[in-house]
Amino acid sequence: METSKLRNKFIFFIVFAGIITLLLILFHFVEAPIKDYLTDFFGATDRRMGDTATVLFEHLFRILKIVLWMSLIVSIVRFVNHLVFSTALQRSNSYEISSLLRNVFSIIIYIVSFFVIFNSQYPNVDLAALFTTSTILGVIIGLALQDTLGNLFSGLAIQADQPFQIGDVISIPTKGEGVVEQVSWRGVQIRTFQNRLIVISNSVLGKEVVEVAPRDNLNARLVFFNTLYANSPTRTIQAVREVVRQIENVSQKIRPAVRVINLGDSGIEYEVKYWLEDYSKYNETDALIRQRIWYAFQRERIEFAYPTRTLHIETKPQENVFVETSSEIYERLSNVPIFAPLSDEETRKLADGSNLRVFAPGEAIVRQGQKGDSMFVVHRGAVDVQIKEAEATKNLRKLREGDFFGEMGLLTGEPRTATVLTDGETEILEINSLCLKPILEENPELVESLSRIVEERRQSFDKPEDKTMPTEIKDKASIFNSIKKFFGLAD
Ligand code: CMP
């Protein structure tokens, strides 16, 4: 396609230049005979008329020659321009050479050629002096070219500065946004995302604040969305980040960031920050991201928030999304070894009295040294048990679904022996002393089995490197007494 275009241009140029050359050669030969003929023809009647006709003819001929020579020069310059700038250089360099530079080159060649040709026809006329000395001409040209020259010089400044290249996306307030297609001596041409062309003159552009998204740069975009308060931010962020990463044109070099930017009136507000391979396609990519978020939300049962005005007439505490049926909690508790001695009914009572809580990733559920009267069972997710030793933090164990912790605090009232942090979003069952006390009061023999289990666990923990238990309750008997004391149970 490109080669056939070039061939056509070449043929056109050869034919055009050939015709002009032929005309110039023809002029060379016919000039003298025509002049003689005119002198004879008009001179036959009046000699002065013959002279005038010859002079007029001479001027006409000279002007015609200037025009023909200039046409030849223009056609050569245009052809060379095309050959050098648009074809050869464009191939070697991925950027198209700005047409402004091409035009400046061409104009210089035209002016120089015009001077040379004019001088060859009128050697006695000093064209340069004519231009420089004629103030009136200068003023007229100056006024006429005021805007044009302004544009030209702003264009040259833009060229020197190179704040943007062809192919970059630029956005100019009040003018528009689009991909730079051409930088000419008059202005910059951009193609908007509606496929319209906008030409902004260089002088206007020089005064505006131009936002540039360079073509060979990773440019970021922000997409916003809201979810209901009932939906967990961790799950939402995970789901959105996963789908955004897979979208075409989203750069793999930098991970998209999804974050909570506000807790708004109608929901949790998020922003997705992602980087584009090709910024000029950001409209399509933004749209695809929104579409994929919708599908991800459908799968994950996350709901978009929209401005609503809700009248709540509540007769019971509002249901929490994380509250499971008590039978599921019962199921979980009956598989926890520490509660194995409890009867079905007691386990059910315990399930009814316990609370299911959700924690964010990295959140502390209990802190070492703090007092607490609850114990916990991991329902979904995992936690890390850590202790602080001389300013350093040491990871002791990871506890998973069905594991329990915090039993020392609950059963003895001692300060927490370790800090327990979530590893990812985690759901935890919390059982407090108020809930356990009536069960222990009804079954004093339970204290015995509980202290055995705590002691067994303590033994398993009690390695030289992780001695976290309080020194005064090192054996089963002391644990037993401590439990009884703490719950106020009779001997
Ligand atoms: P408590 O002391 O109430 O609070 C911190 C809890 O971390 C503690 O009860 C135990 O349940 C748990 N814990 C303490 N030390 C260890 C350990 N070495 N391994 C596993 N869990 C521990």
- d(CA 202, CA 395) in angstroms, rounded, equals 64
pLDDT 10s digits, 284-323:
999 999 999 999 898 888 999 987 666 767 666 555 444 4
- d(CA 416, CA 408) in angstroms, rounded, equals 7
| One domain for residues 233 and 184 | no
Distance 302 CA to ligand 1 centre (A): 35
Whole-number pLDDT of residue 308: 67
Q: Within a domain: residue 360?
A: yes
- d(CA 211, CA 296) in angstroms, rounded, equals 33
| One domain for residues 231 and 207 | no
| One domain for residues 289 and 359 | no
Per-residue pLDDT of the chain (491 residues; tens, 9 = 90+): 456 777 887 888 889 889 989 988 988 888 888 888 877 887 777 777 777 888 888 888 888 888 989 888 888 888 887 777 666 555 554 445 566 677 778 888 888 998 898 888 888 877 777 666 667 767 777 777 777 777 777 777 776 667 888 889 999 888 889 999 988 777 889 999 999 999 988 888 878 888 999 988 889 999 999 999 999 999 999 999 999 998 989 999 999 999 999 999 889 999 999 999 999 999 999 999 999 999 989 888 899 998 766 676 766 655 544 445 678 899 999 998 888 888 888 899 889 889 888 888 888 899 999 988 899 999 999 999 999 887 788 898 999 999 999 988 888 788 898 999 999 899 999 998 888 888 888 877 778 878 887 788 777 765 545 555 555 556 777 778 877 777 777 66
| One domain for residues 280 and 371 | no
- d(CA 222, CA 269) in angstroms, rounded, equals 13
Whole-number pLDDT of residue 52: 81
Whole-number pLDDT of residue 94: 44
The angle that helices 146-161 and 99-121 make with each other, rounded to 10 degrees, is 130
Question: What's the farthest any 2 CA atoms get from each other in the chain?
Answer: 156
Q: Which residues are CB-neighbours of 82 under 8 A, at least 6 positions away? A: 6, 9
Residue list, ligand 1 pocket, CB within 6 Å: 366, 385, 396-397, 405-409, 416-418, 420, 461, 466, 468
* CATH number for the domain that contains residue 229: 3.30.70.100
Whole-number pLDDT of residue 39: 78
Q: Within a domain: residue 316?
A: no
| One domain for residues 40 and 88 | yes
Q: Within a domain: residue 196?
A: yes
Domain boundary among 152, 179, 213: 213
For ligand 1, mutation pick of 468, 469, 474 (most atoms within 8 Å of CB): 468
| One domain for residues 228 and 209 | no
* CATH number for the domain that contains residue 203: 2.30.30.60
Q: Within a domain: residue 81?
A: yes
What's the Cα-to-Cα distance from 96 to each of 44, 77, 92, 101, 213, rounded to whole Å? Answer: 64, 18, 10, 11, 18
Total domains present in the chain: 4
CA nearest to 436, candidates 450, 415, 454: 450
Q: Are 433 and 373 within 8 A, CB to CB? A: yes
Find the radius of gyration of the CA atoms of the chain: 44
| One domain for residues 78 and 114 | yes
Q: Within a domain: residue 417?
A: yes
Nearest CA to ligand 1 atom 7: 418
| One domain for residues 51 and 72 | yes
pLDDT 10s digits, 381-421:
999 999 988 778 889 899 999 999 998 888 878 889 899 99
Domain boundary among 146, 178, 213: 213
DSSP 341: T
Q: Which domain holds residue 198?
A: 161-213
- d(CA 486, CA 447) in angstroms, rounded, equals 11
For ligand 1, mutation pick of 370, 405, 429 (most atoms within 8 Å of CB): 405
Domain boundary among 93, 115, 133: 133
Place of tokens 């991201």: 289
Amino acid 61 reads F
Distance 404 CA to ligand 1 centre (A): 9
Q: Within a domain: residue 175?
A: yes
| One domain for residues 171 and 201 | yes
- d(CA 487, CA 410) in angstroms, rounded, equals 9
pLDDT 10s digits, 240-289:
999 999 898 999 999 999 999 999 988 999 999 999 999 999 999 999 99
- d(CA 4, CA 116) in angstroms, rounded, equals 35
| One domain for residues 335 and 455 | yes
| One domain for residues 273 and 385 | no
- d(CA 246, CA 239) in angstroms, rounded, equals 12
* CATH number for the domain that contains residue 393: 2.60.120.10
CA nearest to 255, candidates 275, 240, 239: 275
| One domain for residues 69 and 46 | yes
Q: Which residues are CB-neighbours of 402 under 8 A, at least 6 positions away? A: 332, 335, 336, 377, 378
Whole-number pLDDT of residue 133: 65
Whole-number pLDDT of residue 326: 74
Q: Within a domain: residue 321?
A: no
Give the ligand 1 atom nearest the CA of 417.
Answer: 2
Q: Within a domain: residue 464?
A: yes
Q: Show the tokens assigned to 206.
A: 């020089």
